[in-house]
């Protein structure tokens, strides 16, 4: 089964977009000869909105998400999904919002760029077997966010060394941790089977596949350390997909005990709450293991119980609940992309999942947590090169909770309570 090859698809997209042959959805019939096809053999597709003014030569390539198929049967079923995740014949036009918006008010730093949405139809995070440009950003959400990490250096290599090229992943930093049964159900159910079904090994980073099980190379914590191109991560350490599929898959939860806790704190036992907190620490460890401490690595890690944030206007622009360090995601990404500041923002205010923005148009919006005032202590933090600075204030005389990172280990630290500013040095 042939599947979409990212390097072919991106090059064709840039070439045809430059030639002005863009419509709401463009089908790359010529890509079939190169083996760039959807699961059913139909042509790959993209949507293109032409840049204007000062952004006319700048490019944002955004990779659509949509999970994976892991067997010939599931891939066949995927070809009949109405959203077109296995066949471009079924694709419907997607609106350009969030990071893809052409409205300056909604997307001040990228609204006038050439914006391309590469539609996802190979079921394997684009791993199955240019003209004049200025700055370029490869981005993606969910499975597309994972793809933007896996293909980041390949994308960089396609383009002239004289131009600025960076990569952004939204909700694509999937972590390799044990689930509530003590096993790795997600690894065995998804990534190992994706590699086998799609022959993905040859399109995964050699720096990873030469050292470990190829299925593990879908986890960014094992790939990101070798990525040379600047990379920005948008994620929640309580990502809805990861909580319900990696930590506590419904099919393995004893007697379905996690089914309600996944979506409602009041239905969680004290033991389950501790497991959630532990997952948060494992996620932070995976982030530090993968990104290290480099100014080229940007991050915006919050506690929102959601999946994907860059495509939804209120989250992208910064509803008060989603801001960190008083910055919206859009502001943080722009500061990092344009080298205004080193941006490594992590929410240390909440040590439990939070409902942030409830969008009626967001998939699974009804599943957002509604925990109200219940949650962790308050405070926020920004990771610097050597020091971790915490702004803390008391909550009902409780000790101010914050995390200190030291040698790859996340430590829970209590400062004895009281209002004020605490500074922890390495």
Q: Which residues of 367-391 are buried (b: 16+ CB within 10 A; e: fewer)?
A: bbbebeeebbbbbbbbbeeeebebb
Cα 298 from Cα 210, distance rounded (Å): 27
- Kindly state the tokens that stand for 261: 């806790």
Q: Give Cα 376 to chain centroid, integer Å.
A: 24
CB 380 within 8 A of CB 404: no
Q: Determine contact, residues 110/55, Cβ cutoff 8 Å.
A: yes
Tokens of 224: 């990101």
Could you list the active site residues? 142, 239, 307
Phi, psi of 114 (to 5 degrees): -70, 120
SS3 at position 33: helix
Who contacts 125 (Cβ-Cβ below 8 Å, separation ≥6)? 68, 143, 144, 146, 147, 150, 194, 218
Torsion of CA 110, 126, 88, 63, to 10 degrees: -10
Residue pair 113/183 in contact (Cβ under 8 Å)? The answer is: no
């Amino acid at each position: 089964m042939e599947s979409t090859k990212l390097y072919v698809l991106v090059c064709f997209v840039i070439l045809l977009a430059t030639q002005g042959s863009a419509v709401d959805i463009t089908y790359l019939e010529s890509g079939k000869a190169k083996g760039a096809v959807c699961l059913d053999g139909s042509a790959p597709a993209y949507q293109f909105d032409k840049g204007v003014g000062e952004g006319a030569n700048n490019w944002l390539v955004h990779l659509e998400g949509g999970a994976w198929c892991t067997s010939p049967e599931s891939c066949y079923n995927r070809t009949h999904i109405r959203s077109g995740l296995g066949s471009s014949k079924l694709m419907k036009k997607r609106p350009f919002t969030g990071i893809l918006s052409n409205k300056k008010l909604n997307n001040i730093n990228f609204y006038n760029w050439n914006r391309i949405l590469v539609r996802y139809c190979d079921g394997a995070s684009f791993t199955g077997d240019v003209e004049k440009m200025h700055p370029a950003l490869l981005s993606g959400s969910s499975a597309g966010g994972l793809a933007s990490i896996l293909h980041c250096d390949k994308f960089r290599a396609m383009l002239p060394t004289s131009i600025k090229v960076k990569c952004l992943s939204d909700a694509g930093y999937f972590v390799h941790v044990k689930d509530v049964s003590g096993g790795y159900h997600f690894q065995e159910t998804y990534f190992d089977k994706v590699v086998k079904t799609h022959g993905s090994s040859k399109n995964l980073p050699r720096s990873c596949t030469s050292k470990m099980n190829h299925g593990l190379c879908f986890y960014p914590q094992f790939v990101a350390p070798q990525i040379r191109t600047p990379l920005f991560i948008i994620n929640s350490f309580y990502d809805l997909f990861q909580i319900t599929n990696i930590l506590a898959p419904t099919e393995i939860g004893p007697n379905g005990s996690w089914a309600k806790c996944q979506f409602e704190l009041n239905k969680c036992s004290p033991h389950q709450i501790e497991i959630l907190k532990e997952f948060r620490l494992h996620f932070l460890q995976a982030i530090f293991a993968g990104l290290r401490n480099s100014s080229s690595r940007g991050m915006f890690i919050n506690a929102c119980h959601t999946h994907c944030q860059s495509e939804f206007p209120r989250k992208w622009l910064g509803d008060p609940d989603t801001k960190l360090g008083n910055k919206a995601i859009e502001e943080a990404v722009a500061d990092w992309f344009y080298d205004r500041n080193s941006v490594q923002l992590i929410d240390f205010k909440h040590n439990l999942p939070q409902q942030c923005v409830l969008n009626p148009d967001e998939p699974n919006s009804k599943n957002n947590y509604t925990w109200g005032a219940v949650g962790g202590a308050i405070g926020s933090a920004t990771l610097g090169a050597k020091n971790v600075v915490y702004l803390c204030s008391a909550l009902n005389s409780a000790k101010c909770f914050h995390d200190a990172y030291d040698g790859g280990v996340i430590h829970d630290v209590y400062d004895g309570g009281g209002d004020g500013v605490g500074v922890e040095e390495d």
